[in-house]
Structure 1
Amino acid sequence: MADLMVKGVIFDLDGTLVTSSLDFALIKAQVGCDRDADLLEYVESLPSPYMREEAMALIHQHEMQDAQHAEPIPGVAETLSFLKSIGMPLAIVTRNYSKAARLKLERCRLELDLMLTREDALPKPDPQALHMVADSWSLPYQQCVYVGDYKYDIEAARRASMHACLFAPVELPDYAEQADIIIERFTDLPAALGLHHRAQTGQLVG
């Protein structure tokens, strides 16, 4: 994968950088959302501001509770440290609530250059947030990669004209073939992107 020439890496948060035990089936049942529907789209479609506010308050409650138990995914700390050492710009794009997302980063002692949540841009799989990150770096979209563990992440990357990297530590989902890159261990990411070779040959980012 050394020919990708990636110059910016964007990550999903839950299930990619940090653990999450959000029970979406329970949340959907509590707000009246169909099991197969998109939760955020459902809330947005509710007929009154009061109903939307009540549903979102319940979602926030679940997200904050989940954040209090988040742990870093194995291999994340050392991988981020390596990427920073070669000058790679790093960001997070998450569908999460900003307050919960910040708490997760604090608990897990992770620091990245930039984080966009659903309060900053349209939620994935819309590519808006990914484009905002790349634009802030003044990088072509094709030189960025989005790393995530779910189909929305792959779809968002494709719609953003970025490389799609699927993190699949347990088993390959049926949508895995849509990804450009697949890693089973987080520490495999630099090699999968050709970045170890770039560091060894002095081709640092910038």
Structure 2
Amino acid sequence: MMMKAIEGVFFDLDGTLLDTAEDFVITVNQMLADHQHPGMDGHLIRQNVSAGSRALMGLAFNLTPGDELEQKRALFLQYYDRHIQDHSRTTFARPYPGILPLIDELEYRDIAWGIVTNKPRPYALALIQQTGLLERSYAIVCPEDVKQPKPEPEALFLACKQAGCSPESSIYIGDHLRDIEAGKKAGMLTVAAHYGYINEGDDPMTWDADLNIDNAQQLHRWLAAHHWKIPATTT
């Protein structure tokens, strides 16, 4: 099989690069308490973080799509923003185990790396900055930067342009079906992060990713075993 050197490695944010769930757990439950609603199980919140704030509000307040849901989502984003701007909080987002050594190795090998997320830019940048990774990333693409966010590939194409690498020589890692769909549409090698925020009824083995991992160390070992190269053509 023909192999080619990896030019870029790109991560989804929530549930792939960073464990951000505790900020969501506290914010959702604070909002529920303020509205005299019973609390929501933290495990259920974690499972649905990657589905986005609209889905979380639908679950928390038992709402279907409509004006009330949009109002609750807008209010939730105010709660969330206020919470993550509190630098004294104990729920700081943290890189998953093995992420920082992997990034160190990518930088040592002059392989560009970046972040492609559907998280709105103000919140994404705040969390990335708090982890010290903002200045190190070659590319950060948020939904405001594109006309069509994931699962369309536009954001991944933009990230490759910012990082100066080709999609066909790059990898995208995510914990949601839309991540794998976007990566495939972009022609990247796709990696499903099973350690992320995956709904109990979802099976990432059905996403048809090129590689499935249970932790970042597993990806690091796979890359090293393949001499930091990927197949010249992927399916």
- Which letter maps to 1:181? L
Once the two structures are superposed, the pairs formed by residues 75-114 of structure 1 within 5 Å of their partners are 75-110=98-133, 111-114=136-139
Identity among equivalent positions (%) equals: 27
Which residue of 2 is the match for residue 116 of structure 1?
Answer: 141
Change in Cα spacing, 1:198 to 1:12, as seen in structure 2 (3 Å) is closer
Alignment TM-score, normalising by the size of structure 2: 0.66
Which residue of 1 is the match for residue 171 of structure 2?
Answer: 145
Instruction: Give SS of 2:58's match.
Output: helix
Matched, 1:183 2:213: yes
Which residue of 2 is the match for residue 128 of structure 1?
Answer: 154
- Which letter maps to 2:138? D
Instruction: Give SS of 1:91's match.
Output: strand
Unaligned ranges ≥5, structure 1: 35-41, 200-206
Unaligned ranges ≥5, structure 2: 25-44, 49-54, 230-235
Change in Cα spacing, 1:2 to 1:194, as seen in structure 2 (3 Å) is farther
- Which letter maps to 1:102? L
**Partners of 1:138 and 1:195 in 2: CA distance:** 25
Matched, 1:168 2:169: no
Matched, 1:14 2:3: no
User: 1:2-48: CA deviations, max 9, x gaps?
Assistant: 935321111100011111224455412478864xxxxxxx6xxx68x
Instruction: Give SS of 1:13's match.
Output: coil
**Partners of 1:96 and 1:174 in 2: CA distance:** 23
Deviation for aligned residue 1:167: 1.4
Change in Cα spacing, 1:152 to 1:74, as seen in structure 2 (3 Å) is same
Which residue of 2 is the match for residue 58 of structure 1?
Answer: 75
CA-based RMSD? 3.3
Deviation for aligned residue 1:143: 0.8
Does structure 2 conserve the Cα–Cα contact (< 8 Å) formed by 1:183 and 1:192?
A: no
Deviation for aligned residue 1:76: 1.1
Does structure 1 conserve the Cα–Cα contact (< 8 Å) formed by 2:175 and 2:194?
A: yes
Alignment TM-score, normalising by the size of structure 1: 0.74
- Aligned residue pairs: how many? 186
Change in Cα spacing, 1:118 to 1:58, as seen in structure 2 (3 Å) is farther
